[in-house]
Amino acid sequence: MHADSFLIQALVYLAAGVISVPIAKRLGLGSVLGYLIAGALVGPFVLDLVGEQGDVMRFGEFGVVILLFLIGLEVRPALLWEMRTSIFGLGLAQMLASAALMGAVALMLGADWRVATAAGLILALSSTAIVLQNLEEKGLRQGPIGQAAFGVLLFQDLAVIPLFAFLPLLAIGHQAGVVEASGHGGNALAGLPEWARVLATFGAVAGVVIGGRYLTRPMFRFIAAARLREIFTASALLLVVGVAALMELVGLSPALGAFLAGVVLAESEFRRELETDIEPFRGLLLGLFFITVGAGLNFGLIVAQPVLVISLTLGLMAAKFVAMWAVGLLFRRSRKDAATIAVSLAQGGEFAFVLIAFVLTARVLTAEQAALATAVVALSMALTPIAFVLYEKLVLNRTGLLAEPEQIPFDEGAPDAIVAGFGRFGQIATRLLTAADFKVTMLESSIEQIETIRRFGWRVHYGDATRLDLLRAAGADKAKVLLVAIDDKDKAVELVKAATEYFPNLTIIARAFDRRHAYELVRVGGDEVVRETFESALVFGKKALLRLGMSDRRAAKAVSLFRDHDLALFNKLAPVYGEEERYAMAVRDSRETMEKLLSEEMRRLKKEEAEEADNDGKAKALREAS
């Protein structure tokens, strides 16, 4: 069998990953660095066990395509609005600050202003795959650091679209060449006039949006009716591959097209099923992508110009760190959080490879400049896990805080209830259940919270409750009740929806942050919804009524009336939730009605109390007279 055959290459890549990654994890370096080291060792510039990595790189890049599709599935309008500061504030500021700083450095090194502008914008992008993987392994993905980094990365992914349109305008002498999409194969529009290429590109994007919105849902309903899981998985992959191929055909990034398709399907009822089916491919193909990045490190260029390449790489990482740290402080992040976000994002990104090849074809960069930029980006990606480990040990100096908690085995037998989220809200409910001798399984995803509550003797299991495998291991198929008390609004909705679909035996009681969140939870299948501050606010208000001189009877009645009316209003307005004008008008009218009824009832009770007091006074006077 020839050494360049696909099976031999697959054997080498898989063996390299299987050997290197566990060793890297054992040494505390993380899986990403393990993959990169494995790729560097088997690549053409070291042991040369697989020859040129181009074909495998193309296959590995499909891991990034799937990652961007899954990220797109998370980008619902509600999430965009909730994260608007992180995405359009922090993300935009990071992009501009990084591009300006690195562009200025390029100008000082003697680069033409067009080259400096292109380099600054391209190198401002960070690696979505490496950043999210690093934060996931460190237990920071779901916290404020992870959310901020995700917002910045999401803005960068969105910014690639205008960059494809803007960068060719920087071509030296404005003589842009025939632009092909990043070496991802031939561009079918290469021979057409500029206006035709632009029109076809917008047509392809419009086709993805319209097709994703109006054609995919009937298709998935038809496929789901067959009740064949493997066919649904195949159709999900077909969708991703088809959109990626269409984008490649018109000269755009396949990953960008997959992201767009994910965004279009973010509100689809099949979103959860798509995530579940495609997720296994993401991990494997991303690992292959990291290996091919390691294999693509041009050690020949590094050996030929070591000072230049290493200096530029460290300069890139330092500039991106300074820019992101300053932006983090500007947006009122703590020094530690700003620094952690900055370290995470201090590298070039996978889209940089796409854009470098793009601007090379458009004659914005020369071949020498493109090769140097590619080496710097790849080396910065390889150094990021090392930089994060050093930062963690030397600066954070709290490795225990970030270490994954010990996995506790689940008890045998079926639990009566599962509590997802063991914060202040979940703890109170759990204590009530355990005091009544019910068997409860507790799940919590925050490492800091786990370490704190385990010191007090709580047997809490670590993990993300939205994972179906974890829910099954916790006994969800046998339990009676699921209490959803997690802090993340979107995660709570996701969990309720998944539990309703896959564990119909469960009665789901969910904690809502507010009325809107409560409607979302009811819509996806929550049996009971409790707004976290509603009852405590009623008790709070009752105490105020008592202090203002109202009798306990009238105060209790006021609370009872308010509660009953609010519940009736909640159910009445459910059909118009989401229609802002009708909803606001109905709430306003209902509030006026409630206040009128409550006022009348309070006057009636006050009159009754006065009559009772008068009768008691007369009776007392008669007793004293007799």
DSSP string, 273-317: HHHHHHHHHHHHHHHHHHHHHHHT--HHHHHHSHHHHHHHHHHHH
Supply the pLDDT for residue 180: 44
Cβ–Cβ under 8 Å, residues 341 and 391:
no
Q: How far is CA 320 from CA 100, 353, 401, in A?
A: 10, 17, 26
Supply the pLDDT for residue 174: 44
The residue ranges of the chain whose pLDDT is under 50 are: 1-3, 173-185, 399-402
Cβ–Cβ under 8 Å, residues 485 and 425:
yes
Angle between helices 254-264 and 144-166 (to 10 degrees): 120
Supply the pLDDT for residue 405: 63
Supply the pLDDT for residue 231: 81
Supply the pLDDT for residue 590: 67
Across the beta sheet with 481-484, the strand order is 460-462, 440-444, 417-420, 481-484, 507-512, 528-531
**Residue 33 in tokens:** 């660095």
Supply the pLDDT for residue 618: 64
**Nearest Cα residue to 58 out of 289, 352, 290:** 289
Supply the pLDDT for residue 482: 92
Q: How far is CA 462 from CA 422, 441, 474, 492, in A?
A: 10, 11, 11, 17
Cβ–Cβ under 8 Å, residues 542 and 556:
yes
pTM above 0.75, yes or no: no
Residue 335 to residue 143: CA distance in whole angstroms: 16
Which amino acid does the sequence have at 295? A
Neighbouring-strand partners of residue 419: 442, 483
Supply the pLDDT for residue 616: 66
DSSP state of 1: -
Residue 412 dihedral angles phi and psi, to the nearest 5°: -75, 155
Supply the pLDDT for residue 52: 60
**Nearest Cα residue to 534 out of 556, 563, 492, 508:** 563
Cβ neighbours of residue 416 closer than 8 Å, sequence gap 6 or more: 433, 438, 439, 440, 479, 480, 481
Cβ neighbours of residue 334 closer than 8 Å, sequence gap 6 or more: none
Supply the pLDDT for residue 247: 80
Cβ neighbours of residue 369 closer than 8 Å, sequence gap 6 or more: 115, 119
Supply the pLDDT for residue 314: 92
**Nearest Cα residue to 294 out of 470, 50, 609:** 50
Helix boundaries (H) for 345-398:
350-361, 367-391
Supply the pLDDT for residue 355: 80
Cβ–Cβ under 8 Å, residues 342 and 145:
no
